[in-house]
Amino acid sequence: MPDHTLVEFPGRLVLVGFGCIGRGVLPLLLRHVGVPRERIRILTDKPTHRAVAEAHGVSMRVEALTRENHRAILAEELRAGDFLLNLSIGVASVELIAWCRDAGVLYLDACIEPWEGGYYDTSVSASARSNYGLREQALAEGRPGGPTAVLTHGVNPGLVSHFVKQALLDVAAATGGLPDGEPADRAGWATLSRRLGVKVIHVAERDTQTAQRRKSRGEFLNTWSVEGFVGEGCQPAELGWGTHERHFPPDGHRHGYGCDSAIYLDRPGAGTRVRSWTPLEGPYHGFLVTHGESISIAEHLTVREGGRVAYRPTVHYAYHPCDDAILSLHELAGRGWRLQEGRRELGEADIGGGMDELGVLLAGHGRGAYWYGSRLTIEEARALCPHNNATSLQTAAGVLAGVVWAMRHPRRGVVDPDEMDFREVLAVARPYLGEMAGAFTDWTPLDDRGRLFPETVDADDPWQFLNVRV
């Protein structure tokens, strides 16, 4: 794909972390952001991929950011007007956001992380170390008119928030149009979702990429960061909790503070399965892994009347990773959630075929359910950008789009993906997302229930979480 500069940036750009997403997004940044290579710097705790940075003419500093040293190191690398792109694991996003706010530095991350080991720190409540709790902390660091800090903007969380808006417009077009015009603000999108009758939004993903060399015993395989996936998968499952729900989970908990848009379960997300659907896969069982979009989409589509919540959809992830990752998760659970000694991240050369089908399933409206999203094959990913498989490129496209948006809008303070103009963001990401597709379905989580074994269900409303949960 030919180079095409989308935004000129006069400052310096520092990438924290150089894992699969950092390596995947670097060529995109060099292709589309007007920053000379000498003003780009990689800060990482591992020199493993120094050759990749050197091949692109970008310098690397190998030093871990810690609770004790991060302020000093960032002060050496960044000045007001620069950009910190945080793609690390085990570095506290909230503390980086606070530092950037005070230093006048722009910021973006792909997820909100605690310090190393923070997900497992039982001296802190499960709520405080959840994605809900971390997001509340990050939002509290905002300052109106301050330097832009974009929270959680990869593909999911990130682009899926923009997919939701396009999907709402598609459902509206198929069910009577937009008599009040296209929504212009947060309240308008929430009102549209309510008018359409959307009860449930799944981030429905099926990764069919296959490894050239299959998983071995005692090895965890994944198409993106093993440590990142296991970290979020071992956290309690989290979901935005909708107003249509009649059966609060027996293992569920409310947080009791903040926006109150989400709940969490006393089970790890990698041990919590849900029923969902994508056009190519059809019905499947996915994992309800905690993700920031489950919270932010649910909050941004909330309608309040007289101080009470009158409408909110249930929102959660429904992730079916690649088959080798499924085997890895089964083994991980059997080991008492202790990560295997062997770990292998599948790069573009390690994959024999397949695609990542990733989108949003909006359900409960007049047409049943509607999926909208990206279908990107490994062959397309290889052709579009080096150092990427299908999964990493979808995420890297979201990171690129978020960076471009932040550079174009440098004084917006702390923002969720849901607060950004979806068309502007998708215009940047779309060339790297393969086929963008939408499909209606009459599938529900009650289909074929009881055919082999009777189950307790709520037959009056198929979109109750009671029916969705396996």
- pLDDT, tens digit, for every residue of 63-92? 999 999 999 999 999 999 999 999 999 999
Identify the pLDDT of residue 386: 97
- Average pLDDT over the chain reads 96
Beta bridge partners of 372: 360, 438
Fold of 159-389+428-468: Dihydrodipicolinate Reductase; domain 2 (3.30.360)
**Sequence ranges of the domains in the chain:** 7-150, 159-389+428-468
User: End-to-end alpha-carbon separation of the chain, Å?
Assistant: 43
For residue range 11-25, list pLDDT tens digits in order. 999 999 999 999 999
Q: Are 372 and 174 in contact (CB under 8 A)?
A: no
pLDDT band at 123 (very low <50, low <70, confident <90, very high): confident
Greater pLDDT, 443 or 180: 443
On whether the CB atoms of residues 368 and 442 are closer than 8 A, the answer is yes
Q: pLDDT per residue over 344-365, tens digit each? A: 999 999 999 999 999 999 999 9
Nearest to 296 by CA among 397, 184, 158: 158
According to CATH, the topology of domain 7-150 is Rossmann fold (3.40.50)
One-letter amino acid of 398: G
Confidence of residue 449 (pLDDT cuts 50, 70, 90): confident
* Average pLDDT estimate for 267-282: 98
- Residue 23: the pLDDT is 97
Q: Please compute the mean of the pLDDT values over residues 408-435 and round it to a whole number.
A: 98
CA 70 to chain centroid, in Å, comes to 25
Residues shown for the chain: 470
- Residues 150 and 402: beta-carbon distance below 8 Å: yes
Q: Is it the case that residue 121 has pLDDT exceeding 90? A: no
Confidence (pLDDT) at 450: 74
Asked if 318 and 203 count as a contact pair (C-beta separation under 8 A), the reply is yes
Token couple for 222: 């994944």
pLDDT tens column, 365-382 = 999 999 999 999 999 999
Q: What is the pLDDT of residue 415?
A: 97
Q: How far is CA 197 from each of CA 161, 168, 233, 361, 403, rounded to the nearest angstrom? A: 18, 10, 31, 13, 34
Non-local CB neighbours of 9 within 8 Å, separated by 6+ positions: 33, 34, 35, 83, 407
